[in-house]
Amino acid sequence: MNKVNVYLIKDIAGLSGLSVYTVKYYLKLGLVKESGRSQATNFRYFNDSTLARLGEIRALRKRKISLRKIKDLLNP
């Protein structure tokens, strides 16, 4: 059985090398999505697929590709 990793926004930001502000901005743009939310605290939860997606976005940004183009590429 595969273990599913769950991260808070500060954790996913640190692991991806991005700031919390940047991750929140990408959420707002629809580039990434939360995998869930705590009903008790309203904290957003993320998983390994979100971490992988942030890695893809970061790599594309390093190639000077715009966020609009990245959204088109990743959300066909």
- What residue numbers bound the domain in which 32 lies? 9-74
The count of domains in the chain is 1
What pLDDT does 66 receive?
A: 96
* Residue 14 domain flag: yes
Q: Inform me whether the pLDDT recorded for 76 exceeds 90.
A: no
* Residue 3 domain flag: no
- In this prediction, residue 1 has a pLDDT band, given cuts at 50, 70 and 90, of low
* Residue 1 domain flag: no
- We report the CATH number of the domain holding residue 45 as 1.10.1660.10
Please answer whether residues 19 and 25 qualify as being in contact, where contact means their C-beta atoms are separated by less than 8 angstroms. no
**Model pLDDT for residues 50-71, shown as the tens digit of each residue:** 999 999 999 999 999 999 999 9
Please answer whether residues 32 and 45 qualify as being in contact, where contact means their C-beta atoms are separated by less than 8 angstroms. no
Per-residue tokens: 44? 């957003």
